[in-house]
Structure 1
Amino acid sequence: HSNVLHNGKRTQQKTIKTISHHEHLSTLVAPTIKDGPQTVSVHINKPAVLECVVSGVPPPRVTWRKHGAILAGNNPGYTFAEDGSLHIHSAQVTDTGPYLCMATNQAGTQHKRVDLQVYVPPVISSETREYLAPVDSSVTLHCQTEGSPPPSVTWHKDGHVLSETVRQRVLSSGSLQIAFIQPSDAGRYTCTAANAAGTVSLEMSLTVQSRFLNLLGSVMVKVTLTVRGEQFFVVPPFFSASIYFCNKCFAFCVI
């Protein structure tokens, strides 16, 4: 109120003050995902963290998928962190694969793929440790391997690295095949399987069998010489000898 002098009279005037109100509206911000590892490798039975740190206004809702299926929040094998990351408590082979993190709010959607690789130490399965093979035959020294990632296989003979040749080659299974076996192939063989999770070895032996087989052992032989119908003893009249047989031959050897 104010008093105003008008024609010698004081009158009262009411002043109206207008107040303007400004409405503050929240600004929407689409989700963003912080850069992080896109591939995670972990040993079996160890914990794994798949990062998906998100931000946005309002705070985005995060969901995880594996092979297209949404991961349930009540699974005891993993938990979801407040920042959106996925924590796997004890990684197993079945956990291997691609994961998709999706962050969503009213302003949009953002996603990120993370691949999980679970390492498993190599294992060699072979029931045979001793091999027997005749000369000129072929033999396969078994070394079946398993592991993740698939193990690489190397062979040693008598402590030395074995190189592949025309006669000796490593099969895709890891086993060693030897063709046209020679006496020099006899010895101790070691199969070694290795990957990012560890190394394991298996030792085996190869015995090369002669073409001739001593079936009778040592025998006493009496040798006589007949000349014009008359027999004469060879001196000495008895001696030790071994008799050997093969598929198509007979051999008599004096020892």
Structure 2
Amino acid sequence: MSDGGMYSCVAMNPAGEARKLLHLTVFVPPSIRDSSGDSPVVVSVRVGNSVTLECESNAVPPPTITWYKNGRMVTESANLRILAQGQMLELKGAEVSDTGQYVCKATNVAGQVDKNFHLNIYVPPNIDGPVEEKIVETISNPVTFACDATGIPPPSLIWLKNGRTIENSESLELHILSGGSKLQIARSQLSDSGTYTCMASNVEGKARKSYHLTIQGTLLLRLLFKLL
């Protein structure tokens, strides 16, 4: 860089002198701040929030910066803006569809450099259906509770009975199935009555759904209890 400038060549003899001026420009290939080569910078944001990807580049002459998402050139839209001569990409109200691989390319006559990003859009857990349900079942019949939970990243699921965590191995009649999305009582007993809660959690939060289960005796048993 310091070698750039005006240079003059002077030729002299007894008859006089001649001069020629030369202007030297030293081109510098682009560099990007905090670039980690081929390893992407991982950026995570909650759905609905804003996020900015930065591509601060220096070069001589100043580089042209172009953004790509999943291999396709990015164009501005209602929720996406390219700012500061391309050095910032701003997403407002991030959506799940914004997830992907982003690349900024800084280019000038001396070369090109890339910076890679992987953008994750996280979604808090949600469980289908009402938050609470009441179930009445007859003794000895099977009972199945569903916990259809969604979220990004996929939420982990645990089941509780009356506030106490249920372990899959604690009863031969009680089974946690389908990765936690179902809880089954194979042969219900009166003692199975209570509140069963599914809790779904990920880095963005928690969701829960409760079932209030009442196990009734058979008609014959109920008549016997009335007679006693």
Q: Which residue type is aligned with residue 79 of structure 2?
A: G
- Residues 153 and 192 in structure 1, CA contact (< 8 A), matched pair in contact too: yes
RMSD: 2.5
Instruction: Compute the displacement of 1:19 (Å).
Output: 4.3
Are 2:46 and 1:39 equivalent residues in the alignment? no
Q: Quick one: which amino acid aligns to residue 118 of structure 2? A: D
| Greater percentage in helix | 2
Structure 2: unaligned runs, 5 residues or longer: 1-12
Q: Which has the larger radius of gyration?
A: 1
Which 10-residue stretch deviates more, 191-200 or 132-141? 132-141
Match of 1:193?
200
User: What residue ranges of structure 1 are gaps of 5+ in the alignment?
Assistant: 1-13, 218-241, 245-252
Contact 1:168/1:176 (8 A) holds in 2: yes
Distance in 2, matches of 1:170 and 1:51, equals 44
Question: Paired residue for 1:156?
Answer: 160
TM-score, normalization by structure 2: 0.80
Letter in 2 for 1:49: T
- Amino acid of the residue matched to residue 122 of structure 2? Y
Find the counterpart in structure 2 of residue 228 from structure 1: none
Letter in 1 for 2:107: T
CA contact (8 A) 2:197 2:208 kept: yes
Structure 2 match to 1:206: 213
Cα 1:135–1:34 shift into 2, 3 Å: same
Verify: 1:115 aligned to 2:118, yes or no: yes
TM-score, normalised to structure 1's length?
0.72
Secondary structure in 2 matching 1:111: strand
Deviation at 1:141, TM superposition (A): 0.6
Distance in 2 of aligned mates of 1:76 and 1:17? 68
Query: What is the aligned-residue identity percentage?
Result: 34
CA deviation profile, 1:124-166 (whole Å, cap 9, x unmatched): 1135712233333322111111111111111111111111124
Q: Could you tell me which amino acid in structure 1 is paired with residue 26 of structure 2?
A: T
Tell me which residue corresponds to 2:191.
184
CA contact (8 A) 1:171 1:177 kept: no
Distance of 1:173 and 1:95 partners within structure 2 = 29
Alpha-carbon separation, structure 2, partners of 1:254 and 1:209? 17
Measure, in 2, the Cα distance between the counterparts of 1:195 and 1:64: 31
Q: How many residues are matched?
A: 207
Compute the displacement of 1:39 (Å): 0.9
CA distance in 2, matches of 1:254, 1:151: 50
Corresponding letter in the other structure for 1:204: Y
Q: Which moved more, 1:100-109 or 1:167-176?
A: 167-176
Larger RCO: Structure 1 or Structure 2 (Cα < 8 Å, ≥ 6 residues apart)?
A: 2
Contact 2:67 2:74 in 1 (8 A): yes
